[in-house]
Copies of this chain bind each other. A is one copy, B any other.
Amino acid sequence: MSDAADVAAESLKAFVDQIEKLEVEKQTIADAIKDVYAEAKANGFDVKILRRVIAIRKQDKSEREEMDALLELYMQALGMGYGRVEE
């Protein structure tokens, strides 16, 4: 069983490495975001409010996407693609 176990161990290690590498990247971005908020604060903006603005815009976008998806669904139900009348 040693060969199969070795292969599994190799494979496991590869997954762990990949994930940890990505986690580092993610953390780097998260730190960058924190820096931007700090800079905004240094420029007199209220961080809490700024976060709310971002959150609302995100939600709006998500709602818009939902709308688009729904619209697309209707279109398909009517036998039409999106943005074109017919083929």
Copies of this polypeptide in the complex: 4
For window 1-20 of A, CB contacts with B under 8 Å fall at 8, 11-12, 15-16, 18-20
A32 within 8 A of partner (CB) = yes
Q: A36 contacts which of B8, B22, B30 (Cβ < 8 Å)?
A: B22
Query: Chain A: interface secondary structure?
Result: helix
**Is A63 a contact of B60 with CB atoms below 8 Å?**
yes
A32 contacts which chain B residues (CB < 8 A)? 22
A22 near B33 (CB under 8 angstroms)?
yes
How many residues of chain A are within 8 Å of chain B by beta carbon?
Answer: 45
Smallest beta-carbon distance A62→chain B, Å: 7
Known A-B contacts A43-B11, A52-B70, A59-B59; A25 and B29 likewise in contact (beta carbons under 8 Å)? yes
